[in-house]
Structure 1
Amino acid sequence: MGGARGHGVGREETLRRFHAATSRHPWHLHTHSQMLQWLCAKWFGSEEELFAFARRAVADAPPGSPLGGLVAEAHLEKWLSLDRGDDDVYMTRPDVRAELRAAADRSVRHPAYRRRPG
């Protein structure tokens, strides 16, 4: 998946690769993280696609899945795109903090979560 960004692979091929990987391992964190990066506006996507993907992945994953970190990754990408000062305001917004807590509750703070290597 990471090669899709560096080699400028198009959307159709990137999605094919993502679906091929997730058909073998539906909740593979690295695969999802690479797709999330591809969807960043700085690469080939948009902020809307980035957040939609992260939220959908977390909602579809089983409770306790490490995919909750995708929501944090998406917010960090947004934070990085903001000017100094606006970035701090963004991360302290009640809606952002609530979404981060909800993702953690569904993921690493969920009773079904199990630490795994990596």
Structure 2
Amino acid sequence: MFGGSVLICDDEEGMLRYLKKMIEAAGLRVETFGNGTSLLARIEGGDPGDASLLLQDMRLPDADGLEILHRVKELRPALPVVMMTAYACDEVVRAAFDGGASDFLPKPFTREAVLGVIRTTTAEH
């Protein structure tokens, strides 16, 4: 699919394990983060070319997903970001796309939906 790793930021440990297992089974490298602070520290300190995609939850205990999206786009404008949430509504989806999100995954989602959005998003970038 692509060369870099998939970064996943979600505060639900079960969701992180589920996504990591699924994406690694597809042959991709994965790094997981349970909060926005650790994700942003990784992006600020990491090699700019080592991540190919970010799957970002909208609701985190330490930060708003849209604020994280904004900061990620400042630091790494070319990094595709797919926002995820169980609380999808038109306003949330619109705000994510207006903030620079490449795509949006409403929870719950299927394996096929996740891998499909990864394929589509990374093919476009």
Is the pair's TM-score, using the shorter chain for normalization, greater than 0.5? Answer: no
- TM-score normalised by the chain length of structure 1: 0.37
Rg comparison, structure with higher value:
1
- Which structure features the higher share of strand residues? 2
Task: Kindly indicate whether structure 1 or structure 2 has the higher relative contact order, using CA contacts under 8 Å at least 6 residues apart.
Answer: 2
- TM-score normalised by the chain length of structure 2: 0.35
